[in-house]
Amino acid sequence: MIVKFYATLRDVTGSKEKKVEGYETVGELLKDLAKTYGRDFERLVLKGDGLVQGAMVLVNGTHIAHLQGFDTPLGKGSVIDVFPPVAGG
């Protein structure tokens, strides 16, 4: 699996992407990433058992809101895109 980070998450994680394995669901992956990258990651992505308002997580190009949310299953070849809330004009 490959996790791709965008915008300010690249500063928090220090990379554009990370190879991971062994995760069965999106929720499991995100919670572990929050443990790895700390409060800044969590503040930008997680709120309780959901996403921070405006944050987006895509699995193979589809928003998890249109799949099974945090219970969305992950496979060996999954690509997970993680976007923090973005403001702009």
Q: What is the pLDDT of residue 89?
A: 52
Amino acid at the residue 83:
F
Q: CA-CA distance, 87 to 89, in Å (whole number)?
A: 7
User: What tokens were used for 75?
Assistant: 């496979």
* pLDDT exceeds cutoff 70 at 88: no
Place of tokens 């503040």: 43
For residue 63, is pLDDT > 80? yes
Single-letter residue type at 48:
G
pTM of the model: 0.94
First-to-last C-alpha distance (Å) of the chain: 33
Superfamily designation of domain 2-83: Beta-grasp domain (3.10.20.30)
